[in-house]
Amino acid sequence: MKTFSAKPHEVERKWYVIDAKGKVLGQVAVEAARLLRGKHKPTFTTHVDTGDFVVVINADQVVLTGAKEHAKIYTRFSGYVGGQKVETPRMVRERRPILLVERAVYGMLPKTRLGKAQYSKLKVYAGESHPHEAQQPVPHTVR
């Protein structure tokens, strides 16, 4: 039996739409990361980008369980004295709601050139509409 290894030019890419309305953030991010990496395909190869395009709509209506809306903290540091910024998901949702989904999915992808290529196939929108109807995306359900 020979080991199969996918070639980058042989990969067929599909488009999927995930509706995040009323869904848990982590579950939406897991499904999106799985589709972006290509782990749902039998031709999955770790060192080749075999993933598909993912469009997440209604990202502003994603749900966080428990007290995470108030208790969870996103921290970043500018490098300057006093440059630490701290935000809760509620503050992030008011400022830029798509950032919640983008950060969650980014955390589940590899931090390499391959991971950045996979992340670039993620399209997140706060509302119901998106400009990717020409690609005929298939709806994908999140459990």
At 81-111, the pLDDT tens digits run 999 999 999 999 999 999 999 999 999 999 9
Q: Which residues pair with 77 in a beta bridge?
A: 84
Burial 82-119 (b: 16+ CB within 10 A, else e): eeeeebebeebbeeebbbbbbebbbebbeeeebbeebb
- What is the number of domains present in the chain? 1
- Residue 85 structure tokens: 């910024």
Considering the chain, what is the average pLDDT of its residues? Answer: 96
- Residue 50 structure tokens: 């075999």
Q: What pTM does this model have?
A: 0.92
Alpha-carbon distance of 126 to 131, in angstroms, equals 13
Question: So what's the pLDDT on residue 11?
Answer: 95
Domain annotation covers residue 16: yes
- Percent of the chain at pLDDT > 70 equals 100
Alpha-carbon distance of 134 to 33, in angstroms, equals 23
User: The domain spanning residue 47 has which CATH number?
Assistant: 3.90.1180.10
Question: So what's the pLDDT on residue 14?
Answer: 97
At 16-51, the pLDDT tens digits run 999 999 999 999 999 999 999 999 999 999 999 999
Domain annotation covers residue 44: yes
At 1, the pLDDT band (50, 70, 90 cuts) reads: confident
- Residue 101 structure tokens: 């989904």
Domain annotation covers residue 37: yes
- Residue 80 structure tokens: 């300057």
Question: So what's the pLDDT on residue 127?
Answer: 94
At 74, the pLDDT band (50, 70, 90 cuts) reads: very high
Residues spanned by the domain of 33 = 12-64+96-140
Domain annotation covers residue 83: no
